[in-house]
Amino acid sequence: MHALKKEKLLFAHYFTIIYLSRSTIAQYFGNKVFTFGSGCKCVDIKTKCSYQSYFSTHKTSFLVYKTHLLIFKNKLDLDRKIFSMDFKIELTEESRLNTVDFSNLVFGKVFSDHMLVADFENGKWNTPQIKPYGKFLVAPSMSALHHAQSIFEGLKVYKNENGDILFFRLEENQKRLNVSAERMCMPAVPKEIFIQGIKKLVEIDKAFIPSGDGLSLYVRPIYFATDEAIGVKASQNYRLIIFTTPTGPFYSEPLKVKIETHYSRSAEGGTGYAKAAGNYGGSFYPTKKAMEEGFQQLIWTDAKENKYVEESGAMNLMFAFDDVLVTPSLSASKLAGITRDSIITLAKSLGIKVEERNISVDEIIEKHEQGKLKEAFGVGTAAVIAPIAIIGYKGQTINLPAIADTNISRIIALELQKIRTGQTADKFGWMEKL
Nearest-approach distance from CB 314 to ligand COI, in angstroms: 4
Residue 311 in the binding site for ligand PLP (CB under 6 A): yes
CB nearer ligand COI, residue 67 or residue 271: 271
Taking contact as CB under 6 A, which single stretch among the options 60-68, 100-108, 310-318, 324-332 is the one that binds ligand PLP? 310-318
Task: Tell me if residue 5 falls in helix, strand or coil.
Answer: coil
What residue number has its CB nearest to ligand COI?
A: 154
Shortest separation between residue 380's beta carbon and ligand PLP, angstroms: 3
Residue 316 or 409 having the CB closest to ligand PLP: 316
Mark 148-177 with x for binding to ligand COI (rule: CB under 6 A) and - for no binding. ------x-----------------------
271 binds, among ligand PLP, ligand COI, none (CB under 5 to 8 A by kind): none
Helix, strand, coil share (%) of the chain residues, nearest 5: 25, 30, 45
Contacts 24+ apart (CB under 8 A), 53-57: 56/1, 57/1
* Residue 27 phi, psi (nearest 5): -65, -45
Nearest to 90 by CA among 56, 68, 112, 114: 114
Q: Nearest to residue 96, comparing CAs of 243, 198, 301?
A: 243
Interaction between residue 290 and ligand PLP (CB under 6 A)? no
* Closer residue to ligand COI (CB): 382 or 431: 382
Q: How far apart are the C-alpha atoms of 4 and 18, rounded to whole Å?
A: 8
According to DSSP, the residues that pair with 155 across neighbouring strands are: 219
One of 290, 338, 364, 431 touching ligand PLP (CB under 6 A): 338
Q: How far apart are CA 150 and CA 425, in angstroms?
A: 37
Q: Is 339 in the site for ligand PLP (CB under 6 A)?
A: yes
AA identity, residue 339 = T
DSSP character string of 204-263: HTGGG---STT-EEEEEEEEEE--B--SSS--S-EEEEEEEEEE--S-SS-EEEEE-SSS
Q: Which string of x and - marks every residue 125-164 that binds ligand PLP (by CB under 6 A)?
A: -----------------------------x----------
Q: Does the footprint of ligand COI cover residue 249 (CB under 6 A)?
A: no
Q: Is the Cβ of residue 131 or residue 340 nearer to ligand PLP in the bound state?
A: 340
Site residues (CB under 6 A) for ligand PLP? 154, 311, 314-316, 335, 337-340, 380-381
Site residues (CB under 6 A) for ligand COI? 154, 314, 380-382
